[in-house]
């Protein structure tokens, strides 16, 4: 299945509910199913409802989608699978509009699919960056609401990024003496985040959360860096030289991200900047094995709490002002409320 690169091959491998459910089943219980009610292991899939498996000892039914973003969705599993495949393999990712065209679903469904799958693009257990790491900040333009993106009158947000510097010949990091040039390198993994300002507190919080202690930090020598403890700091004096020359890899990442946000989304929207950044990082860090990352996406998705429509659009659910919030699902009709 990992070799199913093209959409048509992929659609053949996951042509119906049963093949998707079987894949989910193996992903979720790699060591074999254990009934959550009785602890026995004998189980049968229901022919009419392939998402459900019934314990042959106690009769308890377990859904392969329980606890995943797909839970209780009435969308076919094939739609979820194909959407995840498109979002991970398409060279620039997928906007909701593109997904709508490719899958023949409504715009609202496509938009919620992209939002929910993007939320799965952060691995909470991901390893921090290590070795030699370039860190820098950049201003990125964003657009408000549905207005057209015009760089002249766009707002700006501040993004901080970090990237691992890898030696081409050994494929490993090699810290050098201070101020030495890092030639013949490539970029490893990256991290990006929006920060509110250039203060030491903002920068330190990002570095501490994303870079392993002991790493060598290559920076532009901004006054907010020296407070960082537990790292080897090697500031590159920018002075006359442009930052993209002394810190080439993080600036390459910034410019790719700018181009991608314009090409795919016609400019980032402030409200969703974090999910867009996560998507970019997810795709960048898997750029050499994109065709298998849909599995990561669905696998990661299985560890996520289901998000409701109202969580995603960051509005109060009008139906749940009192009492507990009913979980709304991606393919529910528009609320009348």
> Rule CB under 5 A: which residues touch Zn ion?
35, 37-38, 55, 57-58, 60
Query: CA 112 to CA 280: how far, in whole Å?
Result: 18
Collapse the DSSP code of 283 into the 3-class scheme (helix H, G, I; strand E, B; otherwise coil) and give the result: helix
| The token pair that represents 27 in the structure block | 């992903």
Work out how close the CB of 32 gets to Zn ion at its nearest, in angstroms, rounded to a whole number.
14
- Nearest distance from residue 60's CB to Zn ion, in Å? 5
DSSP annotation string for 312-335:
HTT---GGGSSSSPPPP-TTSPPP
CB of 94 to Zn ion, least distance (A): 40
Which residue's CB is nearer to Zn ion, number 44 or number 325? 44
Residue number with CB closer to Zn ion (60 or 71): 60
Contact 83, 104 (CB under 8 A): no
> For Zn ion, which is the closer residue by CB, 60 or 233?
60
For every residue of 7-35, DSSP letters joined together read HHHHHHHT-SHHHHHHHHHHHH-TT----
Q: Are strands 132-143 and 216-219 parallel, antiparallel or unpaired?
A: parallel
| Comparison of 58 and 242: residue with beta carbon closer to Zn ion | 58
Please, what is the minimum distance in Å from the beta carbon of residue 57 to Zn ion? Answer: 5
Strands 232-235 and 132-143: unpaired
35/112 with CB nearer Zn ion: 35
- Minimum distance of Zn ion from residue 33's CB (angstroms): 10
């Amino acid at each position: 299945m990992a070799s199913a690169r093209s959409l048509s091959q992929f659609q053949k491998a996951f042509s119906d509910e049963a093949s998707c459910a079987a894949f989910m089943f193996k992903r979720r219980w790699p060591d074999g199913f254990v009934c959550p009610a009785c602890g026995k292991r004998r189980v049968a899939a229901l022919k009419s409802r392939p998402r459900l498996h019934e314990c042959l000892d106690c009769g308890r039914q377990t859904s392969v989608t329980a606890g995943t973003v797909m839970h209780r969705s009435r969308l076919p599993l094939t739609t979820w699978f194909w959407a995840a495949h498109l979002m991970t393999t398409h060279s620039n990712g997928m906007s909701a509009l593109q997904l709508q065209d490719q899958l023949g679903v409504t715009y609202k469904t496509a938009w919620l699919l992209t939002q929910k799958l993007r939320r799965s693009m952060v691995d909470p257990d991901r390893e921090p960056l290590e070795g030699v790491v370039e860190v820098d900040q950049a201003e990125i333009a964003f657009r408000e609401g549905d207005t057209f993106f015009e760089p002249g009158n766009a707002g700006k947000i501040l993004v901080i990024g970090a990237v691992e510097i890898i030696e081409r010949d050994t494929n490993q990091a090699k810290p050098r003496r201070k101020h030495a040039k890092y030639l013949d390198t490539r970029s490893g993994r990256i991290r990006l985040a929006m920060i509110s300002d250039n203060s030491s507190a903002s920068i330190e919080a990002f570095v501490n959360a994303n870079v392993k202690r002991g790493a060598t930090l290559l920076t532009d020598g901004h006054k907010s860096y020296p407070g960082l403890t537990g790292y080897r700091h090697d500031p590159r004096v920018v002075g006359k030289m442009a930052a993209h020359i002394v810190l080439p890899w993080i600036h390459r990442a910034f410019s790719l991200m700018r181009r991608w946000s314009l090409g795919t989304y016609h400019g980032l929207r402030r409200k969703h900047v974090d999910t867009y950044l996560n998507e970019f990082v997810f795709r960048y860090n898997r750029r050499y094995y994109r065709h298998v990352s849909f599995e990561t996406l669905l696998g990661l998705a299985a560890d996520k709490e289901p998000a409701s429509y109202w969580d995603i659009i960051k509005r109060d659910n009008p139906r749940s002002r009192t009492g507990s919030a009913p979980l709304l699902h991606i393919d529910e009709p528009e609320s009348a409320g």
